[in-house]
A and B are shown apart, each in its own frame.
Chain A
Amino acid sequence: MPCPYLWNTYRMMLRYITRRLLQSLLVILGVTLLTFLTLHLAGDPTYLYVSERASQEEIEATRKKLGFDQPLPVQYVNFLSGLARGDLGMSIRSRKPALDLVLERLPATLELTIFAMIISTTIAIPIGIISATKRGTGLDGGIMLLAMFGQSIPSFWLGIMLLLSVGLQLKLLPISGHVAVLDPMLKGDISTGLTNLPDALRYLIMPGVTIGLFSLSRNARLVRSSMLEVLSQDYVTTARSKGLSERVVIMKHAFRNALIPVVTMLGLEFGFLLSGVVVTETVFSWPGVGRLVTNAITQRDIPVVQASVVLFSFLFITLNLLVDLIYAQLDPRIRLE
């Protein structure tokens, strides 16, 4: 006989997850419909797949070949029935399954996104804490000033400045390009992935900083304000009055509670970073999903755009669900209701 409390918690969690998954399905459907309509209402994509000198007959033939001669609702229903079977169609440009194309590029984007997240969280948390504990000092002011700059600098400008200064003038890091780590590892070739790692890090630093700086700055400010709020709580005063060292007060009593809004932000952060990679991938010639999607939109390669949208929506929703579950674990006062 399982413990009634645990059983009840599991049931609640299961119900919560099921409800969130159902909601997610609706979100994915909505997003795909919007994407589909936007791409089609912007004009007949057939013209992007014919020579400028193609005759009317050739244009008609191409329209039929690509299936754009069918009414829009029929095309969308075809897409949905494919989606239900896990078939997101073939890329018009490359004649490969659209989902495969996206999955091929995903490791490069994940490398960049994960690296940026590591930079933004590992640096933001300590400097946020230092800033909060040194509130009102010159150090606090300096950190917050830098954070404000970090949030204000457009990523395309920062990227170009970095590559011109660090890459071209100082020749410290490669200007552009990519060395794969995750991709060989995911294909089972762990040793190649590890061998590539030092080189890959050289290529990662500039795009990682470019994409992560905004998040770093925002997270530093968030940690600072969250810490300040917690540090003013009665239980922190009590801890201090008990004679605990400042390190124990901050790390054990204050920091864990200050972390709650930061964890919430991390879930959203991933989506933000994914959407931010488009510009950074272009500036640094990074062969990730961002560039794939940009090109697919430009070329109206609709299956590829749809596959990316479905995959990104799924990733974003799953991560946020995980964050919600972690959130409940961090703060027992929160229930999944």
Chain B
Amino acid sequence: MFRYRFVLLVLLIGLLAVVFPLITVAQTPDENTLIIAQTVDVGALDPASVNSRAEANIFFHVFGTLFEIGDDGVLRPYLASEYVVSEDGTEWTFTLNEGLTCHDGEALTAEDVAYSFERAADPANAFTGNTAGFALPAIGYQGMRVDGDLQVTVLTDRYQTPNLRLALISEVYIHCKDSYSALSLEEAGQKPIGSGPYRFVEWVPDDHITLEAVEGYTLRPTNFKTQIWRVIPEASTRVAELIAGNVDVIANVPPDQIEAVNNSGVATVQAVAGTRRIYVGFQFGENFKDAPGYDALQNTDVRVALQYAVDVPTICKTLLGTECERASSMVNPPNNNPNLEPYPFDPAKAEELLDAAGYPRNADGVRFETVLMGPRGRYLNDANVVQAIAQYLTDVGVKTTVDIRDWADYRTLTGPKEIGPMFFLGTGGGTWDALYDMADLSSPDAGTNYTNWQNEEWFTLWNSLADIRDPEQEREIINQMLEVFYNDPPWLLLYFQPDFYGVSNRLDWQARRDEWIVIYNATLK
């Protein structure tokens, strides 16, 4: 007996001898270091291949753009000081600031700007993502022309409303020709050579990226010498690190942990009404004509009736952890039609309209049956919101079954529009222009017209915008289009997704609405 106790004692002492020296209180970031925690890592660091918001956030600090989209939606000069548009609106000539350099010391000139666009558009590079896959095609990109050391022209195939075009051009990250010409695609994806306020130092995959302020950078502030972008996928871990004071900013605080953060005395949660539009789409595609509820949902009166059936403010309060105003259109405020009021929650009116539309309750209390598809893990509390909506619809007699898939599977269905007869979805938006938000429905066969909505009046008005140069006239048509959308809704309008950022109390920083984490302007309190 004594021997065993002796062995146990030795083991215990041995264990303590190993563990005791390891125990230290966790280190908090110093006054020169800012630590941000994102949920996913970057896939690569090539400025021409932006495939996620996590990547864009890093690029935004490492690379400059010609203009910058501010947190208020205003486009401000950045690497370029000004621009001139040709009379027909197809040529945009930018003048660069003098004395720009890339982080390896190479002078940044018009030739480099042209190269940045051309490299992204070059099919041989096979880039995927936002720049090559969306921004350049969306402006009708045709090529670049170097007009001088500091003058460069973006050539496009059509007129486009100026704010929208400038915003899209401002999504192209500028890098230097000589630096990148010398790199293979693999190398370019590992060690970016930037043109922005912070230089790349280190990337430990799935762990962190370290950036260091570029000395003497005058175009944007660099209030912290070092930025460390950590990857912390688990929400509870992110929150714990924030409360422990080990990180300064975290993205995607789960609604059920907001109180814990706010009560910590170390950090607070900033809730912002994001620009991402969350909606339930009604599928008009013929592929679904045999699906339950398809016929009923083709009826405009039914779709309007269903708008009254869902209590969106309560969904926001209970499932998203914040108050919200229901969307009255597909356009973000302040660019939406001010005359449109959000549909109120009025189940009695919903029932009345469904009766009038020719869908009375049967003996079982059911008007018709349908299916609501939705993703899990893509949008804030998405699967629960889908179930709540299905219950609201069932309550007014539209017996709704939910079909929830993991996001990766769901995305492979949304792409070819194989979702319906109703589906839950979100789509990114902007604060700078209504047309950016409306471009989801730019044509009946647009990739983002997931509903296959065919409203003739809408698309005729959309096409008429191409000839409009007068902003007031454009605004009038936009308002008219949003009324068409409101009265013949292809979407069950829900909300603009709230975003929750946990921010250390030592920091003075305001989160943006458009999901970007732009933090070069953060300061210590």
Do A and B truly interact?
Answer: yes
Which of A's residues lie within 8 Å of B, judged by CB? 42-56, 58-59, 61-62, 65-66, 91-96, 101, 104-105, 126, 130, 160, 163-164, 167-168, 171-178, 198, 201-202, 205, 247, 282-285, 287-288, 291-292, 295, 297-300
Q: Does B339 lie at the interface of the complex (its beta carbon under 8 Å from any beta carbon of A)?
A: no
Separation of A285 and B247 alpha carbons in the complex (Å) = 14
Are A94 and B189 in contact, with the CB atoms below 8 A?
Answer: yes
Q: Which residue of B lies closest to A61 (CB)?
A: B123
Are A175 and B240 in contact, with the CB atoms below 8 A?
Answer: yes
The 10 closest A-B pairs by CB, nearest first: A43-B412, A47-B415, A93-B43, A51-B134, A287-B206, A65-B126, A287-B207, A49-B128, A51-B133, A94-B44
Q: Which residue of B lies closest to A290 (CB)?
A: B206
Are B26 and A44 in contact, with the CB atoms below 8 A?
Answer: no
Interface pick from B229-237, B346-354, B476-484: B229-237
A96, A283, A295: the one within 8 Å of B41 (CB): A295
For B234, list chain A residues within 8 Å (CB): 160, 282-283, 285
Q: Which residue of B lies closest to A92 (CB)?
A: B128
Separation of A142 and B191 alpha carbons in the complex (Å) = 55
B241, B408, B440, B447: the one within 8 Å of A298 (CB): B408
Instruction: Evaluate whether A95 and B185 lie within 8 angstroms (CB atoms) in the complex, with A202-B22, A282-B233 already known.
Output: yes
Q: Does B446 lie at the interface of the complex (its beta carbon under 8 Å from any beta carbon of A)?
A: yes
Question: Smallest Cβ distance from B379 to chain A, in angstroms?
Answer: 13
For B205, list chain A residues within 8 Å (CB): 101, 104-105, 287, 292
Question: Smallest Cβ distance from B29 to chain A, in angstroms?
Answer: 13
Q: Knowing that A52-B427, A287-B206, A298-B406 are A-B contacts, what are 6 other residue pairs whose CB atoms are under 8 Å apart, sorted by A's residue number?
A: A61-B123, A94-B43, A95-B49, A167-B26, A295-B206, A300-B412
Q: List 7 A-B contacts (CB under 8 A).
A: A48-B408, A50-B128, A53-B446, A58-B133, A91-B43, A95-B44, A292-B206
For B240, list chain A residues within 8 Å (CB): 163-164, 167-168, 175-176
B23, B241, B411, B440: the one within 8 Å of A173 (CB): B23
Are B237 and A285 in contact, with the CB atoms below 8 A?
Answer: yes
For B4-39 the 0/1 string (1 means CB < 8 A from A) is 100100010000001101111110000000000000
Separation of A93 and B3 alpha carbons in the complex (Å) = 59
Are A43 and B123 in contact, with the CB atoms below 8 A?
Answer: no
Q: Does B51 lie at the interface of the complex (its beta carbon under 8 Å from any beta carbon of A)?
A: yes
Are B445 and A105 in contact, with the CB atoms below 8 A?
Answer: no
Are B26 and A175 in contact, with the CB atoms below 8 A?
Answer: yes
Q: Does B107 lie at the interface of the complex (its beta carbon under 8 Å from any beta carbon of A)?
A: no
For B411, list chain A residues within 8 Å (CB): 43, 47-48
For B23, list chain A residues within 8 Å (CB): 172-173, 202
Separation of A264 and B507 alpha carbons in the complex (Å) = 55
Are A175 and B244 in contact, with the CB atoms below 8 A?
Answer: yes
For A201, list chain B residues within 8 Å (CB): 18, 22
For B118-131 the 0/1 string (1 means CB < 8 A from A) is 00000100101110
For B147, list chain A residues within 8 Å (CB): none
For B3, list chain A residues within 8 Å (CB): 247
For B408, list chain A residues within 8 Å (CB): 42-43, 48, 297-300
Which chain B residues in 43-96 approach chain A with CB under 8 Å?
Answer: 43-44, 46, 49, 51
Separation of A48 and B21 alpha carbons in the complex (Å) = 47
Separation of A25 and B49 alpha carbons in the complex (Å) = 37
Separation of A294 and B126 alpha carbons in the complex (Å) = 25
For A42, list chain B residues within 8 Å (CB): 408-409, 412
Are A299 and B412 in contact, with the CB atoms below 8 A?
Answer: no
Are A50 and B11 in contact, with the CB atoms below 8 A?
Answer: no
Which chain B residues in 131-160 approach chain A with CB under 8 Å?
Answer: 133-134, 137-138
Question: Smallest Cβ distance from A334 to chain B, in angstroms?
Answer: 32
Q: Does B328 lie at the interface of the complex (its beta carbon under 8 Å from any beta carbon of A)?
A: no
Separation of A318 and B11 alpha carbons in the complex (Å) = 33
For B190, list chain A residues within 8 Å (CB): 96
Are B412 and A93 in contact, with the CB atoms below 8 A?
Answer: no
Number of A-B contacts (CB under 8 A): 171
Instruction: Evaluate whether A96 and B133 lie within 8 angstroms (CB atoms) in the complex, with A56-B445, A298-B407 already known.
Output: no
Separation of A11 and B233 alpha carbons in the complex (Å) = 51
Instruction: Evaluate whether A291 and B233 lie within 8 angstroms (CB atoms) in the complex, with A201-B22, A299-B43 already known.
Output: yes
Separation of A164 and B234 alpha carbons in the complex (Å) = 13
Are B237 and A283 in contact, with the CB atoms below 8 A?
Answer: yes
Are A55 and B446 in contact, with the CB atoms below 8 A?
Answer: yes
Separation of A271 and B187 alpha carbons in the complex (Å) = 34
Are A53 and B448 in contact, with the CB atoms below 8 A?
Answer: yes
Q: Which residue of A lies closest to B51 (CB)?
A: A93
Q: Does B100 lie at the interface of the complex (its beta carbon under 8 Å from any beta carbon of A)?
A: no
Separation of A52 and B410 alpha carbons in the complex (Å) = 13
Q: Which residue of B lies closest to A44 (CB)?
A: B412
Q: Which residue of B lies closest to A123 (CB)?
A: B11
Centre residue among B21, B44, B185, B205 by max chain A CB count within 10 A: B205
For B445, list chain A residues within 8 Å (CB): 56
Q: Does B518 lie at the interface of the complex (its beta carbon under 8 Å from any beta carbon of A)?
A: no
Question: Smallest Cβ distance from A248 to chain B, in angstroms?
Answer: 13
Question: Smallest Cβ distance from A133 to chain B, in angstroms?
Answer: 8
Are B189 and A96 in contact, with the CB atoms below 8 A?
Answer: yes
Are A51 and B129 in contact, with the CB atoms below 8 A?
Answer: yes
For B207, list chain A residues within 8 Å (CB): 177-178, 285, 287
Instruction: Evaluate whether A198 and B21 lie within 8 angstroms (CB atoms) in the complex, with A45-B412, A56-B445 already known.
Output: yes
Separation of A292 and B40 alpha carbons in the complex (Å) = 11
Q: Which residue of A lies closest to B44 (CB)?
A: A94
For B41, list chain A residues within 8 Å (CB): 295
For B244, list chain A residues within 8 Å (CB): 167-168, 171, 175
For B44, list chain A residues within 8 Å (CB): 93-96
Q: Does B428 lie at the interface of the complex (its beta carbon under 8 Å from any beta carbon of A)?
A: yes
Q: Which residue of B lies closest to A283 (CB)?
A: B234
Separation of A105 and B231 alpha carbons in the complex (Å) = 15
For A101, list chain B residues within 8 Å (CB): 205
Separation of A49 and B138 alpha carbons in the complex (Å) = 17
For B241-271 the 0/1 string (1 means CB < 8 A from A) is 1011010000000000000000000000000
Separation of A101 and B44 alpha carbons in the complex (Å) = 12
Are B415 and A95 in contact, with the CB atoms below 8 A?
Answer: no
Are A205 and B412 in contact, with the CB atoms below 8 A?
Answer: no
Instruction: Evaluate whether A53 and B439 lie within 8 angstroms (CB atoms) in the complex, with A104-B205, A126-B11 already known.
Output: yes
Separation of A101 and B439 alpha carbons in the complex (Å) = 38
Are B233 and A43 in contact, with the CB atoms below 8 A?
Answer: no
Separation of A126 and B11 alpha carbons in the complex (Å) = 10
Separation of A175 and B204 alpha carbons in the complex (Å) = 18
Separation of A95 and B206 alpha carbons in the complex (Å) = 16
Q: Does B413 lie at the interface of the complex (its beta carbon under 8 Å from any beta carbon of A)?
A: yes
Separation of A163 and B413 alpha carbons in the complex (Å) = 38
Q: Which residue of A lies closest to B132 (CB)?
A: A58
Centre residue among B18, B186, B409, B411 by max chain A CB count within 10 A: B411
Are A175 and B237 in contact, with the CB atoms below 8 A?
Answer: yes
Separation of A69 and B185 alpha carbons in the complex (Å) = 23
Are A55 and B447 in contact, with the CB atoms below 8 A?
Answer: yes
Q: Does B416 lie at the interface of the complex (its beta carbon under 8 Å from any beta carbon of A)?
A: yes
Separation of A298 and B240 alpha carbons in the complex (Å) = 25
Q: Does B414 lie at the interface of the complex (its beta carbon under 8 Å from any beta carbon of A)?
A: yes
Separation of A168 and B238 alpha carbons in the complex (Å) = 11
Separation of A47 and B412 alpha carbons in the complex (Å) = 6
Centre residue among A53, A58, A299 by max chain B CB count within 10 A: A53
For A96, list chain B residues within 8 Å (CB): 44, 186, 189-190
Q: Which residue of A lies closest to B46 (CB)?
A: A95
Separation of A52 and B442 alpha carbons in the complex (Å) = 13
Separation of A52 and B237 alpha carbons in the complex (Å) = 30
Q: Which residue of A lies closest to B440 (CB)?
A: A53
For B46, list chain A residues within 8 Å (CB): 95
Question: Smallest Cβ distance from B26 to chain A, in angstroms?
Answer: 5
Question: Smallest Cβ distance from B438 to chain A, in angstroms?
Answer: 12
